[in-house]
Amino acid sequence: MNARAIVKAGMTGSPSSLGLPDELLAESVKRLGWAGVSYAVCYVAAHFAYRFSSIGLIADRAFYDVLLAVSLSMGLGLFWATRTFASSARRLLLAGLAFEVATSLLVSLAENQHSYAPGESMRGFSALAAWIPVFSFLVPVGPVASAVAAFTSAAMGPLGLWLQVTLHGVTPPLPRDLPAVFVPPFLMAGVAVVLAQTIYRLGMRVSQEKAMGSYRLVEPIGQGGMGQVWRAEHRLLAREAAIKLISPSTGGESVPVVRQRFEREARAISALQSPHTVTLFDYGVTEEGRLYYVMELLRGFDLDDLVTKYGPLPPARAAHLVAQMCASLEEAHAAGLTHRDIKPRNALVCRLGAESDFVKVLDFGLVKQAAGAEDLRITRPESTTGTPAFMAPEVALGVDFDGRADIYSLGCTAYWLLTGRFVFEGKTATSMLMEHVNSAPVPPSGRVETPVPAGLDRLVLECLAKDPALRPRSAAELRHRLREWAVEWTPEMAAAWWKTHQPERVAAVPLRSANATTV
């Protein structure tokens, strides 16, 4: 999926750039198509009514007919696009807001074809005063987007008049008449924003009240390319949770097959008991056919944010955190499961009870069973999926792999924690993958000014061996060897760090990182 791996409550953005959850986006896209048809029909009717009643007053009849052709094409084209590209809902709605502004300019150009005689007064009102609230009613979006589109559309009134005066030499009306024509669209733009937000809030309230099993959606806290993360509450227990809603991407497979894979994967993950694996409370399918996980809601930083905010970690702390990730993977590997997307954004460090610097491994969305067992991937069997900066060579090459691929990714993660840099920094995903396959890594000690113990340096490079047989044999072995370097990071040091840097936001179970790539 295409989203940051950790999403936080209190984000300035809403679940999407337009502030709508997926089901409301789909409804708005349908209405957007009909808005295009309605505009085309009304424009054609108004065009011919004005043309035949005021044919002598039109400054440039050919230009007036061009406006008709453009308007008709835009309205019907928008309807076609909403039916053909319905899966690209957010892009369509953004295009719809641009459509509102562009059509407002076309309306203004058509209205201002008339040249006024000296002393002649302007009559009537601009159709923009009706078009702007009607569009906002049909296509309600978030507060910022609706306000920008509505008031920009109102501004097309005076802009259209100026263009006609400039381009076609139209004689403008008396200045005293201009406020009566151009102020109402701005007033109605304000009404449109209020109207759109009322409909938007009602839709959001209905969406939030929908139950996911025993949980009630409370507020959106993240958005990804294939779904959303919501903060949720259990209807009976005083327990918060994170619900990850997933829109099934069939990739050429039937929806029942995708659901089967999802359910098998969820059952496999729910069987994991390690305290260092994020807890799955529930899973299921909504009435709309969307898949969902219910997982624990955690307070902390992902390891990517941790290093980005505070810089490379002391070697002892880095070893302490990676050792806990090993504990999670140790159980998963023993169950025949390979994570396939170990990276800093899929590990959350938090305060849990009385413990500080407690790590939770997240997002087993690419989990794969060992050879010979039933494939639990949601992705298509022939795809190679993961994050290039942390992908093992054998995964990049698409050959058979096992839990030692996760060991390689742990080495990449440790490298990031120690240096704040990727092992390889290719300019493209493909070049980065090829470096993982062919290039020898620079030791962490060669990429950072602070000293890295020689033994830890060697251990990280051992995890990064191209040949899986040369890496630590298991997550358990790696965890045992990391303990030697982790002892210097004491519980007292961890508690002191968290007392100073305790996060104010809640981090939820992630959607797929923006770095995840199918190659």
Nearest to 136 by CA among 84, 191, 87, 217: 191
Catalytic, 341? Answer yes
SS3 call for 513: coil
DSSP string over 376-395: --SS-TT--EE-GGG--HHH
Number of helices (H), then strands (E), belonging to the chain: the values are 15, 15
- How far is residue 198's CA from residue 204's CA, in Å, rounded to a whole number? 10
Is the Cβ–Cβ distance between 135 and 100 less than 8 Å?
yes
Nearest to 44 by CA among 11, 7, 71, 77: 71
- How far is residue 132's CA from residue 149's CA, in Å, rounded to a whole number? 9
Looking at the DSSP bridge assignments, the partners of residue 224 are 227
Nearest to 278 by CA among 228, 349, 335, 344: 349
Cα–Cα distances (Å) from 172 to 3, 125, 175, 185, in that order, read 51, 15, 8, 19
- How far is residue 381's CA from residue 358's CA, in Å, rounded to a whole number? 34
Is the Cβ–Cβ distance between 396 and 466 less than 8 Å?
no
- How far is residue 309's CA from residue 318's CA, in Å, rounded to a whole number? 15
Say what the alpha-carbon torsion angle 34, 36, 39, 45 is, to the nearest 10 degrees: -90
- Percent of the chain that is helix, strand, coil (3-state, to 5): 55, 15, 35
- How far is residue 171's CA from residue 61's CA, in Å, rounded to a whole number? 16
Is the Cβ–Cβ distance between 355 and 440 less than 8 Å?
no
Strands (E) in 193-333, as ranges, are: 211-212, 215-224, 227-234, 240-246, 280-285, 291-296, 300-302
Is the Cβ–Cβ distance between 296 and 281 less than 8 Å?
yes
- How far is residue 230's CA from residue 212's CA, in Å, rounded to a whole number? 11
Cα–Cα distances (Å) from 102 to 46, 51, 498, in that order, read 17, 22, 52
Indicate which residue of 22, 341, 357, 363 is catalytic.
Answer: 341
Q: What does residue 13 show for φ and ψ, rounded to 5 degrees? A: -85, 160
Pairing of strands 355-361, 347-352: antiparallel
Looking at the DSSP bridge assignments, the partners of residue 103 are none
Nearest to 437 by CA among 404, 403, 468: 468
Just list the catalytic residues: 341
